[in-house]
Amino acid sequence: MATTDKVVAITGASSGIGEATALLLAERGARLVLGARRSERLADLVARIEKAGGTAVHTRTDVTRREDLHALVALARERFGRLDVLVGNAGVGPISPLDDLRVDEWDEMVDVNIKGVLHGIAAALPVFREQQAGHFITTASTAAFNVVPAMAVYAGTKVAVRSICEGLRQEAGPSVRVTTVFPGFVHTGFAEASSNTAVRERIAGMRDEIAIPPDAIARAIAFAIEQPADVDVNEIAVRPTAQS
């Protein structure tokens, strides 16, 4: 099956990489099930997709809540009879030096970036087993390859995502594909998340200088989906050429 007709659920679809992925896959014929917390943005995205002739539904999804991932997967099956791909993309990055002791933000990064991915696996894996087909695509970060000051916790969550997805791949067997995408600097609202002013300004400045558009990541995700069922693209890093 090419992208056409595939049923693809995306978490964190309300902005940035998730939104760009929804728009690109809809253009290529996928039927989309969109999740995030900001329902009004999802409703607007569904309207734009439908206006362009595509098919999409949405449901408010907080990935820290296990039951929300089950509801997202259930919506795919109810509306379209199956789920072919789960794009676990939701993530937060309120980065700061450890000395700031922004412990609530550390918790949030662990809850969204790690547990949110696990909740998606828990919801979709039994469905993929039953169908004897399925594809997990997860957004990690190039921070999984190298940690820099102020990014210890964020990078740690993305290292965890990489390990979890590689373990999943090894256990997945011949019918379930596992792809992890490692974006570098991408032009989204992500850089504004830090509550440390100096860090926020530094990251936003670097973003404005070198970041690539979220569509660049969407194309990598589409590439992985479009391979034949016996070809599993496991890890893709997509950075700005100018990123060190």
Write out the catalytic residue numbers.
154
60 touches ligand NAP by CB under 6 A = no
Q: Round to whole Å and give the CA distance between 20 and 22.
A: 5
- Among left, alpha and beta (phi > 0; psi -120 to 50; other), residue 101 is left
180 touches ligand NAP by CB under 6 A = no
Which of 62, 166, 215, 235 is close enough to bind ligand NAP by CB under 6 A?
62
**Amino acid identity, position 235:** E
- Among left, alpha and beta (phi > 0; psi -120 to 50; other), residue 126 is alpha
Which of 112, 114, 121, 165 is close enough to bind ligand NAP by CB under 6 A?
112
Task: Confirm if 29 and 55 have CB atoms less than 8 A apart.
Answer: no
| C-alpha angle 163-121-46 in degrees, rounded to nearest 5 | 120
What is the footprint of ligand NAP within residues 127-156 (CB under 6 A)?
A: 139, 141
CB-wise, 125 or 140, nearer to ligand NAP? 140
CB-wise, 16 or 54, nearer to ligand NAP? 16
Q: Round to whole Å and give the CA distance between 133 and 234.
A: 16
3-state SS, residue 131: helix
- 106, 8, 2, 128: which is closest to 58 by C-alpha? 8
**x/- track of binding to ligand NAP for residues 63-102 (CB under 6 A):** xx------------------------xxxxx---------
Question: Residues with Cβ < 8 Å from 130, sequence gap 6 or more?
Answer: none
17 touches ligand NAP by CB under 6 A = yes
Which of 37, 48, 202, 219 is close enough to bind ligand NAP by CB under 6 A?
37
What is the footprint of ligand NAP within residues 189-218 (CB under 6 A)?
A: 189-190, 214
Taking the complex as a whole, the smallest distance from the CB of residue 9 to ligand NAP amounts, in Å, to 12
- 19, 155, 151, 157: which is closest to 87 by C-alpha? 19
Taking the complex as a whole, the smallest distance from the CB of residue 132 to ligand NAP amounts, in Å, to 28
Site for ligand NAP, rule CB under 6 A: 11-18, 36-38, 61-64, 89-93, 112, 139, 141, 183, 185-186, 188-190, 214
